[in-house]
């Protein structure tokens, strides 16, 4: 074997290594959140989605929780089984909305497969690139914490939404029992330093301020919820002049950081400036188009919640490269 031949494997390995691009971390201080684990890429709110999001290097896993009949905290956006992505034990798609999670035990909840989108449903059309993962079950919050711990990922954060609707109280557990069960799981896993609790129902967040004042709170809002004081802790949004001022009033008395998470289309540059002047973080949801991501970055938002964390990561890389000398 000649010297040139001997070096060929080494050269090939070096070239291969140069072509492998590791996951890029978001810029310091910017919060890249994978909505429901990144449902544009993997089945929403499943361990497969959260695992994939961690591989991509996101800052935060955004997720939703509910409470089963036996008081187990599970990860689900829907308060009842969703036929758009749920199959029964025989592999058949649910013909209609299934039972409420609050009425089922954990064993019953996990008898269903949530590992792919129903191809006959319009729900999944925006997520045509989602990779199925058959056999995925609605996970417990404890299982997600355990997976993060087993992966040795001490950086990842969790933005946990309590799915409570003050206009439909019969659909879920009440805010306080749900929150107490959630706090117990957070304490058991030792994850308090890595958790934010968010909710559209600001009663939950008032309870967080009382029961766990060190936890950051994220005040979710839409134009619809701001018009109904049942969502905003009884406060009349119209009397405050702006949503940042409303959030400031609703969050009074807490000592942890306050986040305002508006629907991204409702957000203006002036609101971002005002929220920052009030020492709030601004974290809009759910932003899936590159043009919207760029526009929000120009506004100076502190993070973005997206179904496509890979797209946002690319936008952040491009934006960082454009700002870097040379």
Q: What is the per-residue DSSP string for 259-314?
A: EEEEBGGG--HHHHHHHHHTT-EE--B---SHHHHHHHHHHT-SEEEES-HHHHHH
In this structure, the dihedral spanned by the alpha carbons of residues 102, 137, 126 and 80, taken in order and rounded to 10 degrees, is: -10
Residue 20 has pLDDT above 50, yes or no: no
CA distance 74 to 109: 9
Quickly count: other Cβ atoms within 10 Å of residue 133's Cβ. 18
Residue 172 has pLDDT above 90, yes or no: yes
CA distances 216 to 50, 123, 254, 260, Å, are 21, 32, 9, 11
Residue 6 has pLDDT above 50, yes or no: no
Lowest mean pLDDT among 9-23, 223-237, 262-276: 9-23
CA angle in degrees (0–180, nearest 5) for 103-104-109: 140
**244 token code pair:** 């940042």
DSSP state, 140? B
CA distance 179 to 156: 22
Residue 193 has pLDDT above 80, yes or no: yes
Residue 9 has pLDDT above 50, yes or no: no
Helix (H) / strand (E) element for 241: namely: none
Share of the chain above pLDDT 90, in %: 87
> Would you report the helix, strand and coil content of the chain in percent, each value rounded to 5?
40, 15, 45
Lowest mean pLDDT among 19-28, 152-161, 245-254, 317-326: 19-28
Contacts of 245 (CB under 8 A, 6+ apart): 274, 278
Residue 324 has pLDDT above 50, yes or no: no
CA distance 39 to 117: 10
Lowest mean pLDDT among 83-87, 199-203, 238-242, 318-322: 318-322
Across residues 64-88, what is the average pLDDT?
98
> Over the chain, what is the mean pLDDT?
91
CA distance 263 to 134: 31
Q: Token match 């997720």: residue?
A: 63
**pLDDT recorded at residue 29:** 85
Q: How confident is the model at residue 217 (pLDDT cuts 50, 70, 90)?
A: very high
Across residues 147-164, what is the average pLDDT?
96
Specify whether the CB–CB gap between 193 and 91 falls below 8 A: no
**pLDDT recorded at residue 318:** 93
Q: Phi and psi dihedrals of 274, rounded to 5?
A: -65, -45
Across residues 54-81, what is the average pLDDT?
98
Interval 31-51: pLDDT, tens? 999 999 999 999 999 999 999
Specify whether the CB–CB gap between 263 and 283 falls below 8 A: no
Report, in angstroms and rounded to the nearest whole number, the Rg of the chain calculated over CA atoms.
21
**pLDDT recorded at residue 321:** 61
Q: 35-38: long-range contacts at Cβ-Cβ below 8 A with a sequence spacing of 24 or more?
A: 35/62, 35/285, 35/286, 35/305, 35/306, 35/307, 36/62, 36/63, 36/64, 36/77, 36/307, 37/61, 37/62, 37/63, 38/306, 38/307, 38/308, 38/309, 38/310
Lowest mean pLDDT among 62-76, 136-150, 312-326: 312-326
Residue 283 has pLDDT above 50, yes or no: yes
Q: Specify the pTM.
A: 0.90
Specify whether the CB–CB gap between 210 and 251 falls below 8 A: no
Find residue 162's DSSP bridge partners: 65
Residue 23 has pLDDT above 90, yes or no: no
**pLDDT recorded at residue 322:** 61
Contacts of 4 (CB under 8 A, 6+ apart): none
**pLDDT recorded at residue 112:** 98
Between 202 and 255, the higher pLDDT residue: 202
Across residues 159-173, what is the average pLDDT?
97
CA-based nearest residue to 66, from 185, 147, 146, 157: 185
């Amino acid at each position: 074997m000649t010297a040139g031949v001997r070096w060929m494997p080494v050269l090939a390995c070096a070239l291969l290594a140069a072509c492998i691009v590791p996951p890029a971390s978001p810029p310091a201080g910017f919060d890249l959140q994978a909505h429901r684990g990144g449902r544009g890429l993997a089945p929403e709110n499943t361990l497969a989605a959260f695992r994939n999001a961690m591989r991509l290097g996101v800052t935060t896993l955004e997720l939703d929780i509910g409470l089963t009949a036996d008081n187990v905290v599970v990860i689900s956006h829907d308060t009842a089984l969703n036929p758009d992505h749920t199959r029964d034990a025989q592999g058949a798609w649910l013909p209609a909305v299934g039972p409420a999670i609050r009425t089922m035990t954990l064993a019953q909840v996990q008898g269903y497969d949530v590992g792919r989108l129903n191809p006959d449903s319009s729900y999944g059309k925006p997520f045509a690139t989602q990779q199925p993962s058959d056999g995925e079950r609605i996970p417990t919050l404890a299982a997600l914490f355990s997976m993060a711990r087993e992966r040795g990922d001490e950086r990842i954060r969790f933005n946990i939404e309590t799915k409570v609707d003050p206009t439909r109280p019969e659909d879920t557990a009440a805010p306080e029992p749900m929150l107490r069960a959630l706090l117990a799981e957070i304490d058991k896993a030792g994850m308090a330093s890595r958790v934010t609790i968010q909710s559209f129902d600001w009663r939950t967040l008032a309870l967080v301020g009382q029961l766990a004042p060190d936890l950051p709170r994220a005040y979710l809002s839409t134009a619809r919820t701001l018009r109904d004081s049942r969502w905003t802790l009884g406060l009349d949004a119209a009397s405050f002049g702006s949503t940042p001022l409303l959030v400031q009033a609703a969050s009074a008395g807490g000592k942890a950081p306050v986040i305002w998470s508006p629907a991204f289309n409702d957000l203006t540059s002036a609101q971002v400036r005002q929220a920052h002047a009030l020492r709030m973080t601004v974290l809009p949801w759910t932003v899936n188009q590159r043009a919207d991501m760029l526009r929000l970055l120009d506004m100076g938002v502190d993070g973005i919640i997206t179904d496509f964390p890979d797209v946002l990561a690319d936008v952040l890389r491009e934006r960082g490269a454009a700002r870097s000398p040379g």
